Amino acid sequence: QVQLAESGGGSVQAGGSLRLSCAAPRYYRTNCMGWFRQTPGKAREFVASIFTDNSVTRYADSVKGRFTITRNNAENTVYLQMDSLEPEDTAMFYCAAGQVVAVPDLASEWQYWGQGTQVTVSS
């Protein structure tokens, strides 16, 4: 079982910033890492992803221009810099990792998930 270690959630006012991080075990070679988020009663929603080999990134339309995903391949760690946060961004954020991810938007593509870190944005 691969455990993903998330950190960086918290509470912030609208317009503020937070940075999430997620570390996968170094022995687990991923082809892609990413972030999803979920609010009560709703399905898990894709936020952003980054491929290992070419660092190609993908973002949900709702976060484009505000969130930036990066990774450190040597540390097998992915980061999500979230700026200009809005109350609508309030959610539990989950890190995801996979070895054969082809369509990052689909939750079913990912093999492993973190336990989640709460992000709360107040108006």
> Within its chain, how far is the Cα of 19 from the centroid?
10
What confidence score (pLDDT) does residue 1 get?
A: 84
What confidence score (pLDDT) does residue 31 get?
A: 93
What confidence score (pLDDT) does residue 21 get?
A: 98
Q: Which of 59, 56, 57, 33 is nearest to 45 (CA)?
A: 59
pLDDT by 10s per residue, the chain, length 123: 889 999 999 999 999 999 999 999 999 989 999 999 999 999 999 999 999 988 899 999 999 999 999 999 999 999 999 999 999 999 999 999 999 999 999 999 999 999 999 999 999
